[in-house]
Structure 1
Amino acid sequence: MKRVVAVTPADADNGFACCGAVQLAAEPGQVAELLQQALAASDGGVVILDERLVEEVGEEMLHALEQRWSGVLVVLPAPLGTAAAEDYALRLIRRAVGYQVKVRR
C-alpha cells in the first residue's frame, strides 16, 4: 500500500498526521533533504509539499524532482491568513501558460 507523506514547516500543526499521513516537519535548511527523502521512499505514492517551503527548494529543483518521480507531487497552498495564496495562483498560471502573468485586483 502506498502512503501519503506531507513535508510541512516545523511550526505546522499535526493535521496531516491526524489523517494517517506521514508528516515531516522541516526546519530551515532541511526542506530539500526531507523532500528527497520522501520521494526516495519506495512506499511513497503521494508527497505533499507546503507552499511556504517551495522557495527554499526552488522551482527548477521541484520541477526536476517531479519529472523523475513516478508518484504524485502536490504543492498545497499555505493556510488562509497568509499572503502566499496569490503567489501560488500566479505560479500555477505561469507554469500553465509558460510566462509571467500580472494579475490585478
Structure 2
Amino acid sequence: MKRIVFITPADARYGFSLAGATQLTAAPAEAEAAVRQAMADPECGLVVIDERLLPGIGEERFQEMERRWFGVLIVLPAPEAAKKEEEDYAARLIRRVIGYHVRLMP
C-alpha cells in the first residue's frame, strides 16, 4: 500500500503526525523541495500540501508536477480559504480524474 505524505507549514507540524501519518514541514520557499522529496519516494502515492505553501511553488509549476508524477497531488485548503477557491480546485481535480469538465452546482 502506498503512503500518504502531508506537507504543512511549521505552525501545523503536529496535526497529521499525531494521527500516525508522514508529515513534512516547510516554509513556502522550501515547499517545492519538500514536494519533490515526497515524489521521489517510491512508497509515496499521495502528497497533500497545505495551500499556504503554494506561493513558494507557483500554480504553473505545481500543475506541471501533477501531470508528470504517477501519484496524486492534493491541495489542503487553508483554514481561511474562500469557498470559491475550493470549488475551483475541486472542479480541476474532477476534470483531471474523469477527463472532462463537470459543472458543480451549490
Question: Is TM (by shorter chain) over 0.5?
Answer: yes
Q: Measured at CA, do residues 17 and 75 of structure 1 come closer, stay the same or move farther in structure 2, by a change above 3 Å?
A: same
Gapped runs of 5+ residues in structure 2?
96-100, 102-106
What's the offset of the Cα at 1:29? 1.5
Task: Give the structure 2 partner of residue 75 of structure 1.
Answer: 75
Match of residue 85 from structure 1: 82
Which residue number in structure 2 is paired with residue 59 of structure 1?
A: 59
User: Shift in Å at residue 67 of structure 1?
Assistant: 0.4
Shift of 1:93: 7.4
Please identify which structure carries the higher helix content: 2
- Aligned residue in 2 for 1:35: 35
SS in 1 for 2:11: coil
Question: Counterparts of 2:82 and 2:13 in 1: how far apart (Å)?
Answer: 19
Stretch moving more, 10-19 or 70-79: 10-19
Asked if the contact 2:2/2:43 (under 8 Å) is kept, the reply is yes
Number of residue pairs matched?
A: 95
Give the drift of 1:20.
2.0
* TM-score (structure 2 length as normaliser): 0.76
Structure 1 spans left out of the alignment, 5+ residues? 99-105
- Check if 1:48 corresponds to 2:48: yes
Q: What SS class does the counterpart of residue 30 from structure 1 fall into?
A: helix
Q: CA RMSD in A?
A: 2.3
Query: Identity of aligned pairs, percent?
Result: 46
Change (3 A) 1:20 1:85: farther
